[in-house]
Structure 1
Amino acid sequence: MGIPAYRPPDEPGLWDVFLNRLERVLKKASLHPTTVEYLVHPRRLVTVSVPVKMDDGKVRFFQGYRVVHNIARGPSIGGVRYHPKVSLGQTAGLAAWMTLKAAVYGLPFGGAAGGVAVDPKALSSKELERLTRRYTAELVNLIGPDIDILGPDLGTHEGIMAWMMDTYSMTLGTTVPGVVVGKPAALGGTEGRDDAVGLSVALVLWTLAERRGLPLEGARVAVQGFGQVGGAAAFWLARMGLKVVAVSTSKGGVYDPEGLEVEALLAHYGETGELPPWGESISNEALLSLEVDYLIPAALEGVLDGKAAQKVRARAVLEAANGAVTDEAEAHLLGRGVLVVPDLLTGGGGLLSGYLEWVQDLNMFFWTKEEVRARIEASVRRAVEEVCERAEALEADLRTGALALALERVNEATRLRGVYP
């Protein structure tokens, strides 16, 4: 962008996406130059070597990262990703996305992200635990319930969050459940978290449908990515009366124009890790080009690029994975009149459930699953209305509306706090 900005030493990826979108929105949103400087320079970037004693007795080193992007609105929060392609640039981009997402939903958080460049499936359970505990120990002076809160992301789960909480707590000599979110319920985790992101995808669509007259009952949906997010989104959309006609994993997918039995599909996938041979086999690429009402990319970032966008025949794309739709793809889709719903809106469920878990841990007072879902629904509906209103006022698309709303909230917090001498 035009002003000097932080440049990661490795592949910038999502960080460059953030900078490009920030520059674009600056033409519509009014931000103080100081706020922009804060946004383009992450507050803290940490790179750690993580030595792990393997089961064969040898010691291997893994590269780990933790980036705190911004804390104008509160302590930072963000997931920890275990994946071979984790890098500093990717982590910085994810941290910036958390800053924006928290602001869109009006939550008192800044953004952070972390990760280790590792294939967790290649490690034994004991190796995974040793990796997790050493990574947490390297960060123990930089994290905490009022400093930086860790959560699950790609390749991590509630068991890993439990190890992180225990490592931090044992180091401090007292139990501190609020240092992580996404824990098992028995350790202070919140009920209803497992399907929170998928639920928010469905709630965003439901609210948009009410506001803009989009079809729901019997509308056709295709979901790319049938993990925790995509599977839950398919479940809730089917519950709402939509027809899920296709789902896929990294190994391929299944398609039935008459609609799939989502609950049975989830049960089979949960037991075997494979999709059953129902309907027709379909590739991930072919799924993106199905003639459906709603397309939901819920896998990794960048799966819907400019080339793939040319084949999209959906009337709306709901970005369930962070950065699933590239700028080139979005420009093409918007030019054809396709509604694009950004990840800043659809992905709010995980952050909302994390916020509710954090509040419960701080107060040691816990809500039921029904109460948690009711609070998530109220927050999603409010966020959709506010983003739509901002987009309409700017005569812009939903992503521009969401970015403008988030940046203006960060700008106001930065103005009120000032610059520490």
Structure 2
Amino acid sequence: MSSVKEKEEVLKREEEKDGSDDLFFSTQQVIKEALTKLGYRDEVFELLKEPIRMLTVRIPVKMDNGSIQIFTGFRSQHNDAVGPTKGGVRFHPEVTEEEVKALSIWMTLKCGITNLPYGGGKGGIICDPRKMSFGELERLSRGYVRAVSQIVGPTKDIPAPDVYTNSQIMAWMMDEYSRLREFDSPGFITGKPIVLGGSHGRETATARGVAICIAEALKTKNLRLQDARIVVQGFGNAGSFLAKFMHDAGAKVVGISDVHGGLYDPNGLDIPYLLDRRDSFGMISQLFQNTISNEELLELDCDILVPAAVSNQITAQNAHRIKASIIVEAANGPTTMEATNILTERGILLVPDILASAGGVTVSYFEWVQNNQGYYWSEEEVYGKLQRVMIDSFETVFETAQAHQVNMRMAAYMIGIRKTAEAARFRGWI
């Protein structure tokens, strides 16, 4: 029976790998085009097309029933020419090596766009935290830190929360790292609880960054937020906070969804009511009878569409049916390159993920700075600093797109990769 299960797992991994390979390959292709437009030689692409370091680990965890389960984890460090690498750790059953590698490259780009002193990193563990107990998650979190401890640290590689991880998991990881090093190391990881050196504003940072980008995008089209109809695909951390911010600002959130389906009301949904009833994984649609599919949700009549769920949601197959005039990507890779080109030709403004979702790493940087100096900022200070970074970043990307006559995704890649390329050049690597 176990051998059959193992074969099924292998087949499932292979199916998932195909999509991850496409994601990684498409990321490489855009980087190559961006470097070419910037005038860099081929060896720069050869350096930056792959992570400089990729670690695969096997983590034995004692489960509540007494059995030992072996989990596979990854840590990718794309490039540390600028400084230590930085990036989240995701717990998800569909994590793959190729996905983690691609996401570490995107983190390099985000840090370049926001001018942070980091290279990109990313981690992940193949698991389903929704089916694990609190104790099992703690043992897995600590086991991951033990497995990667030689290549991470406050001056090497700083992890953070990501899909299905949170401040509690970051606290366990920080505690385990501090035990291994035998001194308190709050700067090892960000996204921690406030009482353990976390920063005000970290939990909502990604959503706030997206909200700032929405406000800036509306300005380019002379639209008001209070008149906007918004659809948010995904009701997890980023999607739910964003829906609340938009609702509180007076916009009309007409559609939201989770993995099971979506809710739609042309007059605007009662977001506070939905937030009170969502579970910790962002599930809400199962409580309602009249739902729509995620595919239908993407094609709703609206002004702003925010994909805040998973990758490859807007493709060449449905891009021509998108009715929004502005798309702001809160998820990683929700729009394929073919769809990006179609949307651009249709005059739809697309704010790419590596810009729109950079609020998370920006406030993570603020947390790291506060940990290093032992002085902590108020919530208002954090929000003020985040707003300045995001507005400056948006304006730089938008102006670059206009100057080079490219879409905002290509402009963001050009800005994001230039800093690392220049740092590698000055170091004498290329």
TM range (shorter): over 0.9
Whether the 8 Å contact between 2:105 and 2:121 is mirrored in structure 1 is yes
Equivalence for 2:3: none
Equivalence for 2:8: none
Equivalence for 2:151: 142
Measured against aligned partners, the alpha-carbon deviations of 1:263-317 in whole angstroms (never above 9, x if no partner) come to 2321222589524867952221111111100111100111222212232111111
Whether the 8 Å contact between 1:31 and 1:407 is mirrored in structure 2 is no
Equivalence for 2:171: 162
Q: Report the CA distance between 1:57 and its aligned residue.
A: 1.5
Task: Give me the whole-angstrom Cα distance separating, in 1, the residues matched to 2:63 and 2:125.
Answer: 16
Pick aligned residue for 1:37 from 26, 29, 46: 46
Q: Report the CA distance between 1:11 and its aligned residue.
A: 4.7
- In the TM superposition, what are the counterparts of 1:404-415 in structure 2 within 5 Å? 404-415=414-425
Task: Give me the whole-angstrom Cα distance separating, in 1, the residues matched to 2:194 and 2:75.
Answer: 25
Question: Quick one: which amino acid aligns to residue 353 of structure 1?
Answer: V
Q: Report the CA distance between 1:237 and its aligned residue.
A: 1.8
Equivalence for 1:261: 270
Pick aligned residue for 1:286 from 288, 296, 313: 296
Pick aligned residue for 1:348 from 342, 345, 358: 358
Whether the 8 Å contact between 1:318 and 1:340 is mirrored in structure 2 is yes
Q: Report the CA distance between 1:16 and its aligned residue.
A: 1.2
Measured against aligned partners, the alpha-carbon deviations of 1:88-146 in whole angstroms (never above 9, x if no partner) come to 10100000000001000000000010111111111111111111111110111111011
Question: Is residue 178 from structure 1 mapped to residue 190 from structure 2 by the alignment?
Answer: no
Name the one with the larger helix percent: 2
Question: Quick one: which amino acid aligns to residue 176 of structure 1?
Answer: S
- In the TM superposition, what are the counterparts of 1:291-330 in structure 2 within 5 Å? 291-330=301-340
Q: Report the CA distance between 1:417 and its aligned residue.
A: 1.5
**Gap regions ≥5 residues in structure 1:** 1-7
Question: Is residue 274 from structure 1 mapped to residue 284 from structure 2 by the alignment?
Answer: yes
Whether the 8 Å contact between 1:203 and 1:380 is mirrored in structure 2 is yes
Measured against aligned partners, the alpha-carbon deviations of 1:150-208 in whole angstroms (never above 9, x if no partner) come to 11111111111011100000011100001100011110011111111111111011122
Whether the 8 Å contact between 1:50 and 1:131 is mirrored in structure 2 is yes
Whether the 8 Å contact between 1:220 and 1:292 is mirrored in structure 2 is yes
Equivalence for 1:222: 231
Question: Is residue 382 from structure 1 mapped to residue 382 from structure 2 by the alignment?
Answer: no
Task: Give me the whole-angstrom Cα distance separating, in 2, the residues matched to 1:118 and 1:87.
Answer: 11
Whether the 8 Å contact between 1:254 and 1:279 is mirrored in structure 2 is no
Pick aligned residue for 2:413 from 383, 397, 403: 403
Whether the 8 Å contact between 1:296 and 1:319 is mirrored in structure 2 is yes
Deviates more, 1:177-186 or 1:31-40: 31-40
Q: Report the CA distance between 1:319 and its aligned residue.
A: 1.0
Question: Quick one: which amino acid aligns to residue 306 of structure 2?
Answer: I
Aligned residues: 413
Question: Is residue 336 from structure 1 mapped to residue 356 from structure 2 by the alignment?
Answer: no
**Gap regions ≥5 residues in structure 2:** 1-16
Question: Quick one: which amino acid aligns to residue 142 of structure 1?
Answer: I
Pick aligned residue for 2:74 from 65, 80, 88: 65
Whether the 8 Å contact between 1:136 and 1:164 is mirrored in structure 2 is yes
Whether the 8 Å contact between 2:89 and 2:163 is mirrored in structure 1 is yes
Q: Helix, strand or coil: the match of 1:247? A: strand
Q: Report the CA distance between 1:51 and its aligned residue.
A: 0.7
Q: Helix, strand or coil: the match of 2:70? A: strand
Pick aligned residue for 1:360 from 370, 378, 384: 370
- In the TM superposition, what are the counterparts of 1:242-257 in structure 2 within 5 Å? 242-257=251-266
Task: Give me the whole-angstrom Cα distance separating, in 1, the residues matched to 2:399 and 2:69.
Answer: 52
Whether the 8 Å contact between 1:94 and 1:113 is mirrored in structure 2 is yes
Pick aligned residue for 1:55 from 64, 76, 86: 64
Q: Helix, strand or coil: the match of 2:89? A: strand
Q: Report the CA distance between 1:56 and its aligned residue.
A: 1.6
Whether the 8 Å contact between 1:265 and 1:275 is mirrored in structure 2 is no
Structure 1 runs (4+) deviating above 6 angstroms are 276-279
Equivalence for 1:105: 114
Q: Helix, strand or coil: the match of 1:31? A: coil
Task: Give me the whole-angstrom Cα distance separating, in 1, the residues matched to 2:345 and 2:295.
Answer: 21
Question: Quick one: which amino acid aligns to residue 365 of structure 1?
Answer: Y
Query: What is the RMSD of the two structures over their aligned residues, measured on CA atoms?
Result: 1.9
Equivalence for 2:244: 235
Task: Give me the whole-angstrom Cα distance separating, in 1, the residues matched to 2:29 and 2:410.
Answer: 12
Task: Give me the whole-angstrom Cα distance separating, in 2, the residues matched to 1:83 and 1:13.
Answer: 19
Measured against aligned partners, the alpha-carbon deviations of 1:359-382 in whole angstroms (never above 9, x if no partner) come to 001111111111111111111000
Q: Helix, strand or coil: the match of 1:49? A: strand
Measured against aligned partners, the alpha-carbon deviations of 1:213-246 in whole angstroms (never above 9, x if no partner) come to 2342221100110111011111122233221111
Measured against aligned partners, the alpha-carbon deviations of 1:316-347 in whole angstroms (never above 9, x if no partner) come to 11111010101121122112111111001110
Task: Give me the whole-angstrom Cα distance separating, in 1, the residues matched to 2:129 and 2:355.
Answer: 29
Question: Quick one: which amino acid aligns to residue 169 of structure 1?
Answer: S
Equivalence for 1:5: none
Q: Report the CA distance between 1:32 and its aligned residue.
A: 3.9
Task: Give me the whole-angstrom Cα distance separating, in 1, the residues matched to 2:219 and 2:350.
Answer: 16
TM-score (norm 2): 0.92
Equivalence for 2:4: none
Question: Quick one: which amino acid aligns to residue 85 of structure 1?
Answer: E
- In the TM superposition, what are the counterparts of 1:70-85 in structure 2 within 5 Å? 70-85=79-94
Instruction: Report % sequence identity.
Output: 38
Structure 2 CA distance for partners of 1:270 and 1:367, relative to 1, 3 Å: farther
Task: Give me the whole-angstrom Cα distance separating, in 1, the residues matched to 2:272 and 2:349.
Answer: 28
Measured against aligned partners, the alpha-carbon deviations of 1:30-87 in whole angstroms (never above 9, x if no partner) come to 2243332221131101011111111122111111110100111110001101111111
Whether the 8 Å contact between 2:35 and 2:417 is mirrored in structure 1 is no
